[in-house]
């Protein structure tokens, strides 16, 4: 089962916890929702000093129908609320790594925290998505041998009848097509990268890094091992945020 960890850049980090947003109405009925953040302590990963926090994000799911109360009366149901809990990891109050949830949920939670902050100015977490220059990051990987590039997605190329293209293979970056796509005026939107195995008797770890800082691990790992894979990639990629 795949899992993903997404990188955000922090503009403001709270001085106190817990924090919560003001209540927000999504336009789906009368229900309102909020997002909370709790401090959990230190991460299991110790190679970098990472604080661990938990986001509790209320989500409104549109639903239309009727309900029946215990006394037999019928009433309209217009919305239901679900709650998403997921851990995040903070480095130097500068970068935030969300995990354990869907990408769309983490993006929505981070946006709500920024747009509808806690009324206490000392309890505000403001973070934003990143954009990584994957052309430069690709060159870094090739010179450092920190990971083997096995494929890449290209978008926005000025090539007739080609909007999106994927190239894959063992030495794909040496192909004529790769050079053609990379120099065609478009961007690399994602890189398929094999990371060296964590132990000598295991296989290379397949990952995908997108331009907006979402790292997909094609196998599921516990917290320590997932961060052992992700943090070195992010620490390298952070130098190429554009």
Q: What is the mean pLDDT of residues 208-220?
A: 96
Q: How many helices (H) and strands (E) does the chain have?
A: 4, 14
The predicted structure's pLDDT at residue 30 = 59
Give 69's pLDDT tier (boundaries 50, 70, 90).
low
Q: How many CB atoms lie within 10 A of CB 36?
A: 19
Instruction: Find the DSSP H helices in the chain.
Output: 103-115, 134-144, 176-182, 223-237
Measured between alpha carbons, how far is 105 from 130 in angstroms, rounded to an integer?
16
Q: How many CB atoms lie within 10 A of CB 186?
A: 18
pLDDT, tens digit, 9 for 90 and up, residues 72-126: 565 555 555 688 999 999 999 999 999 999 999 999 999 999 999 999 999 999 9
Residue 210 CB partners (closer than 8 Å, separation 6+): 189, 190, 216
For a pLDDT cut of 70, what percent of the chain falls above it?
88
Is residue 85 within 8 Å of 40, Cβ to Cβ?
Answer: no
Q: Are strands 50-68 and 3-12 parallel, antiparallel or unpaired?
A: unpaired
What pTM was computed for the model? 0.86
Is residue 89 within 8 Å of 52, Cβ to Cβ?
Answer: yes
Decide which of 61 and 32 is more confident. 32
């Amino acid at each position: 089962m795949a899992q993903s960890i997404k990188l955000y850049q922090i503009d403001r980090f709270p001085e106190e916890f817990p924090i919560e947003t003001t209540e927000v109405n999504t336009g789906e009925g009368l229900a309102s929702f909020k997002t909370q953040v709790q401090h959990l302590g230190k991460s299991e990963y110790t190679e970098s000093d990472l604080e661990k926090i938990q986001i509790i994000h209320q989500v409104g799911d549109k639903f239309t129908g009727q309900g029946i109360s215990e006394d037999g009366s019928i009433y309209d149901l217009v919305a239901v609320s679900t709650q998403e809990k997921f851990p995040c990891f903070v480095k130097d109050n500068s970068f935030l790594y969300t995990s354990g949830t869907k990408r769309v949920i983490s993006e929505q939670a981070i946006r709500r925290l920024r747009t509808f902050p806690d009324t206490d100015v000392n309890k505000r977490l403001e973070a934003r998505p990143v954009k990584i220059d994957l052309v430069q990051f690709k060159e870094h990987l090739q010179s450092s041998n920190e990971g083997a590039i096995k494929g890449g997605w290209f978008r926005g190329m000025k090539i007739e009848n080609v909007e999106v293209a994927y190239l894959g293979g063992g030495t794909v970056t040496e192909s004529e097509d790769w050079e053609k796509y990379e120099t065609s005026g478009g961007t690399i939107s994602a890189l398929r990268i094999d990371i060296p195995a964590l132990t000598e008797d295991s296989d290379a770890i397949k990952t995908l890094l997108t331009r907006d800082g979402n790292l997909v691990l094609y196998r599921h790992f516990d917290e320590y091992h997932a961060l052992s894979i992700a943090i070195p990639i992010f620490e390298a990629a952070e130098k190429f945020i554009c």
